C-alpha cells in the first residue's frame, strides 16, 4: 500500500503504540483503583470498572475527533476545574472505600453494585486530567498531513489507545483478582480495605501535585 494511502502515517504507528503502552503501564489513579478493587471485590467488579474506564476514554477520543479537546487546551480555568474535580473525586472514592469496609457483612462480603463500579470507573477517568491531556497534547503530535483527515486520524489513533487500555486493564484485573484471594478472607479484609482507602487518598494527593503547573 502506498505510504500516502494509509489513514495515518505508518511511521507513527510504532512510536504511538510504545507511548500509549508506557502511559498505561505508568502507575496512576486508574491502575491503583482497578488493582485494589479487583483484589478486594474480585474480577466481576474489576471488569465492570474497566467498562466504565473504557467509556470515559471513548468520550475523550470522540471529543478529540470533533475538535472539542482544543477548548480544554485554550481554557486554563476549565483545566483547573477538571483537575480539582478529579482530586476531590479520588478523595470521595477513598471515603467510599472506607465506608464500604465499615459496612462489611458477617461473611466478609462488602455491599456493591455493577452500576456503582461502572460509575466509579467512568467518572474517575473523565475527571482524570492526565487522560484529558493525552488527547490535548500528545495525540495531535501523531497526526500528520498527506494522510486521512485529522478527524479520521484521531479516530484511528484514539481507537488504538482504547484497545490497548482494555488489554492492559483486563490483565491488571486478572492478576489482582488472583493475588487478592487471600485478602478477601474476613479476618484480613477490613484491614486491607482501610489500606486501600488510604492509598486512594495518597493517589489524590499525587494527582494534585503531578498535574499542577
What is the phi/psi pair of residue 146, to 5°? 70, 15
Predicted confidence at residue 112, as pLDDT, reads 64
Predicted confidence at residue 61, as pLDDT, reads 92
User: What is the widest separation between alpha-carbon atoms in the chain?
Assistant: 65
Q: CA 111 to CA 11: how far, in whole Å?
A: 49
Packing angle, helices 29-41 and 186-210, rounded to 10: 170
Q: CA 211 to CA 213: how far, in whole Å?
A: 7
For each of the chain's 213 residues, which pLDDT tens digit applies? 555 568 898 888 999 999 999 888 887 778 888 998 998 889 999 999 999 999 999 999 999 888 888 788 788 888 888 889 988 988 988 888 787 655 554 444 445 689 999 999 999 899 888 888 888 888 888 988 888 888 999 999 999 999 999 999 999 999 999 887 766 665 456 677 778 888 888 888 888 887 776
Cell representation of residue 171: 490483565
Which residue, 196, 177, 166, is CA-closest to 33?
Answer: 196
Amino acid at each position: 500500500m502506498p505510504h500516502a494511502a494509509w489513514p495515518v502515517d505508518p511511521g507513527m504507528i510504532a512510536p504511538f503504540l510504545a507511548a500509549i503502552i508506557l502511559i498505561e503501564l505508568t502507575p496512576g489513579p486508574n491502575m491503583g483503583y482497578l488493582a485494589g478493587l479487583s483484589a478486594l471485590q474480585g474480577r466481576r467488579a474489576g471488569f465492570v470498572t474497566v467498562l466504565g474506564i473504557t467509556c470515559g476514554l471513548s468520550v475523550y477520543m470522540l471529543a478529540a475527533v470533533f475538535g472539542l479537546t482544543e477548548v480544554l487546551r485554550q481554557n486554563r480555568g476549565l483545566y483547573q476545574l477538571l483537575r480539582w474535580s478529579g482530586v476531590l473525586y479520588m478523595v470521595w472514592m477513598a471515603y467510599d472505600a472506607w465506608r464500604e469496609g465499615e459496612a462489611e457483612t458477617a461473611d466478609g462480603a462488602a455491599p456493591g453494585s455493577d452500576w456503582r463500579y461502572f460509575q466509579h470507573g467512568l467518572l474517575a477517568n473523565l475527571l482524570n486530567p492526565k487522560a484529558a491531556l493525552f488527547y490535548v497534547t500528545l495525540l495531535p503530535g501523531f497526526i500528520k498531513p498527506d494522510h486521512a483527515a485529522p478527524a479520521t486520524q484521531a479516530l484511528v489513533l484514539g481507537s488504538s489507545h482504547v484497545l490497548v487500555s482494555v488489554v492492559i486493564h483486563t490483565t491488571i484485573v486478572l492478576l489482582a483478582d488472583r493475588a487478592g484471594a487471600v485478602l478477601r478472607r474476613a479476618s484480613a479484609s477490613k484491614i486491607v480495605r482501610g489500606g486501600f482507602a488510604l492509598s486512594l487518598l495518597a493517589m489524590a494527593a499525587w494527582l494534585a501535585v503531578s498535574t499542577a503547573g
